[in-house]
Structure 1
């Protein structure tokens, strides 16, 4: 009897409405980045320190993108409140973890940005915020 082939796990399907909205926001950002010539390296990469939403590359450059989907520009500034010091520290630790797992990229310049994505029915543009050190 032939062994059945092992099927590699595909992307996890979002279950909750919030997860579906987050996946939609990430897909919107990824489409925009691809139109600008970026190539996807990782999506939703996880380690013990957290998750990296999107890691994209162009020759000689990396871009780490934290995606925040929001219904409206409310009390959290359309997602900016979710980018406070603690979140940035978690991103930095997760980034260090990713680099340890992918040493070929350790000398490549990286820029970290947040993409604040208005969710439907809004047609507002994505807001980009550079996450400085």
Structure 2
């Protein structure tokens, strides 16, 4: 099945975030991991800690503030359920601490650094 332009842009944004995190010593455990509840964009590990990253790429700052508004209550609930599903499939990580971050990635023609938001869950 051919990938849409939006999917290619999303893949590019995820790859940019992944490269940045790998340069900081994080190791990829899962990318675009799916279950019945949704998708986890990136799951990484460093020194026994887990990092769950939700990536949003935008061409411009629109009404959703580069994608911030996309992380509404329903999205958070889907992330929590998908995370529980991932932990059930990967029980060795169940006791590890986890941090949820939101990566806002400017897509061409926009420029600038990735913006990071730490989320409480």
Under TM normalisation by the shorter chain, which class is it? over 0.9
TM-score by length of 1: 0.88
Q: Which has the larger radius of gyration?
A: 1
Moved over 3 A (4+): none
How many residues are paired up? 121
Aligned to 1:52: 40
Query: For 1:130, what is the secondary structure of its paired residue?
Result: strand
- CA offsets 1:15-59 (integer angstroms, 9 cap, x no match): 101000000000000000011100000000000000000000001
Q: TM-score, normalising length from structure 2?
A: 0.97
Q: Take 2:111 and 2:19, find their aligned partners in 1: how far apart are those partners?
A: 15
User: C-alpha displacement at 1:121, in angstroms?
Assistant: 2.5
Q: Which runs of 5 or more structure 2 residues have no equivalent in the other structure?
A: none
1:75 aligned counterpart, secondary structure: coil
Q: Which runs of 5+ in 1 are unaligned?
A: 1-12
